[in-house]
């Protein structure tokens, strides 16, 4: 291969491989004989792959010692594109002849990609995957063009179940659908044999709309946080700062004001079993001990969490994975509450993984990352003829980072329900440290009953300015019902009058 063709082939490979995440490149590198791919960063790994492809480095034998790798799925798109480039850049041809061949091969490539979809590649099937037409429940997820089912707890290292194009067309399957099916295994490839249910509804009886095209209405029904386990946080939101189904809620606070604890207690206050409702929790870039605390509160299939040790690509994948599930459930008439902790980490993860370039704001955050987070929060809405998606997300302020201040300013205009946590109250160890004066609900008048609205106005105008927050929190703690809380409020107001 002459030097011009060699360099052109190298540039094309580097440019193409750079569009994939590190976690997608490592299985391919391992397959072609790159030495220790898991110990290399993305740029170094791409350089090693190209060196092996060009024959500059000899491929090494695959190691047989140690634990088996978690994810051994080789993306067929990488294999096909590299094979295509190798056909284009023949060693004996000139650069001009290579370019002519590239143009002629474009239609062939499209046909080949369709063949891959209809005839899926072989994947490793571990012993824990149901075999011989046993029932499997997973979520639809596109692995770079290949539709498959993965476990609801989002562990990509486990086996994937390939879904055929015929079944996707027949049942109108979409990314995020929860599919219950029977599977069969042939030549070490696990595929769906029969679709039983989609989003907990019989597949043949499925009727739904498209999330982005359905008509939207104002939130008119309040989310009740005290149905099963009463917490002060749940009572505070339920009785004083109402949250309706379909609202976009932000819990804003400085570091160490208790944002994570607040949303965790809200989740604990939600009903564990309620018809046509679902609670999903997304934790982004959290400490392992925080994840462990959430696992005690909510089922693992409804909790997707990433920690400090995870790559930014996984943060973004986890966020899109859970949002897609929430949208599909809403399309089928389910009321979904999606808790996100938190948006700052999600924005920064997307900014690190975005390869599109574009404008960079003065704070250092890419404009596309800001637009992505705004769009994520703006997904919350109530569909008039189906379900609703409510998003409760945490947002940090006063961190000293310009990025966080820009996020607060931009997202505040998107949210229509805000709970602000006070540094002063948290310094005095008063929890939940809610700054009631700055907290608001845009649709409180339509969500509250007339009596509840009067109580909220009385507290805001007559009690809040004159009574210490810990007194009201004590009344919330002692009250088991809204009626008891009303009585406590009346007693407080009578004492103020005297």
What domains are defined for the chain? 3-118 (no CATH), 135-205 (2.40.50.140), 216-448 (3.40.50.300)
Cα–Cα distance for residue pair 247/217, rounded to 1 Å: 11
Model confidence at 271, pLDDT cuts 50, 70, 90, reads: low
Per-residue pLDDT at 277 exceeds 50: yes
pTM: 0.72
Is residue 345 predicted with pLDDT exceeding 50?
yes
Mean pLDDT of 185-210: 85
Nearest-angstrom CA–CA distance, 16 and 240 = 54
Which of 432, 207, 418 minimizes the C-alpha distance to 332?
207
Share of the chain above pLDDT 90, in %: 32
Q: What is the mean pLDDT of residues 416-442?
A: 90
- 378 vs 374: CA distance, rounded Å: 6
Q: What pLDDT score was predicted for residue 189? A: 73
Phi, psi of 400 (to 5 degrees): 90, -10
Longest dimension (CA), the chain: 100
CA distances (Å), 232 to each of 238, 242, 498, in order?
A: 10, 14, 28
Hey, CA dihedral for 345, 350, 353, 358, is it positive or negative?
A: negative
β-pair type (178-186, 161-162): unpaired
Q: Tokens in use for 169?
A: 């067309």
**Residues in a beta bridge with 248:** 391
Please check the confidence at residue 273 and state whether its pLDDT lies above 50.
Answer: no
Classify burial at 188, counting beta carbons within 10 Å of its beta carbon; exposed 0-12, middle 13-18, buried 19 or more.
exposed
Note the Cα 446 to chain centre separation in Å: 30
* Of 220-229, 275-284, 331-340, 397-406, minimum mean pLDDT range: 220-229
C-alpha closest to that of 444 among 404, 417, 471, 467: 417
pLDDT of residue 113: 45
The encoded tokens of residue 308 equal 């400090």
């Amino acid at each position: 291969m002459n030097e011009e063709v060699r360099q052109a082939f190298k540039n094309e490979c580097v440019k193409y491989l750079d569009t994939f995440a590190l976690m997608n490149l490592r299985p391919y590198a391992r397959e072609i004989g790159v030495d220790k791919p898991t110990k290399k960063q993305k740029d170094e790994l791409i350089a090693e792959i190209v060196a092996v492809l060009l024959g500059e480095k000899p491929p090494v034998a695959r190691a047989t010692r140690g634990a088996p790798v978690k994810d051994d799925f080789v993306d067929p798109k990488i294999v096909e594109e590299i094979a295509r480039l190798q056909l284009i850049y023949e060693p004996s041809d000139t650069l001009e002849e290579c370019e002519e061949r590239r143009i002629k091969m474009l239609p062939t490539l499209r046909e080949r990609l369709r063949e891959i979809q209809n005839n899926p590649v072989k994947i490793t099937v571990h012993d824990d995957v149901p075999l011989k037409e046993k029932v499997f429940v997973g979520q639809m997820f596109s692995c770079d063009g290949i539709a498959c089912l993965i476990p609801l707890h989002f562990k990509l290292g486990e086996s994937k179940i390939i879904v055929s194009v015929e079944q996707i067309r027949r049942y109108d399957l979409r990314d995020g659908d929860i599919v219950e099916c029977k599977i069969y295994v042939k030549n070490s490839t696990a595929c769906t044999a029969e679709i039983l249910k989609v989003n907990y509804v019989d597949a043949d009886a499925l009727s739904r709309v498209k999330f982005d095209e359905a008509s939207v209405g104002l939130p008119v029904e309040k989310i009740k946080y005290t149905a099963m386990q009463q917490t002060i946080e749940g009572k505070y939101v339920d009785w004083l700062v109402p949250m309706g189904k379909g609202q976009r809620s932000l819990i804003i606070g400085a570091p160490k004001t208790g944002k994570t604890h607040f949303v965790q207690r809200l989740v604990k206050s939600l009903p564990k079993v309620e018809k046509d409702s679902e609670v999903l929790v997304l934790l982004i870039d959290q400490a392992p001990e925080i994840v462990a605390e959430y696992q005690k509160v909510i089922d693992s299939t409804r909790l997707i969490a990433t920690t400090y040790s995870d790559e930014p690509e996984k943060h973004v994948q986890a966020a899109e994975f859970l949002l897609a599930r929430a949208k599909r459930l809403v399309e089928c008439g389910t009321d979904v509450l999606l808790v996100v902790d938190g948006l700052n980490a999600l924005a920064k993860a997307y900014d690190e993984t975005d390869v599109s370039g574009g404008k960079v704001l003065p704070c250092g955050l890419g404009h596309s990352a800001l637009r992505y987070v705004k769009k994520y929060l703006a997904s919350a809405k109530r569909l008039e003829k189906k379900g609703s998606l409510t998003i409760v997300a945490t947002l940090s302020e006063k961190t000293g980072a310009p990025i966080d201040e820009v996020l607060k300013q931009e997202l505040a205009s998107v949210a229509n329900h805000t709970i602000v946590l006070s540094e002063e109250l948290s310094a005095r160890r008063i929890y939940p440290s809610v700054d009631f004066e700055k907290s608001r609900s845009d649709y409180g008048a339509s969500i509250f009953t007339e009596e509840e609205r009067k109580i909220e106005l009385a507290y805001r105008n007559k009690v809040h300015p004159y009574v210490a927050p810990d007194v009201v929190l004590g009344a919330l703690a002692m009250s088991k019902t809204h009626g008891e809380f009303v009585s406590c409020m009346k007693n407080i107001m009578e004492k103020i009058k005297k």
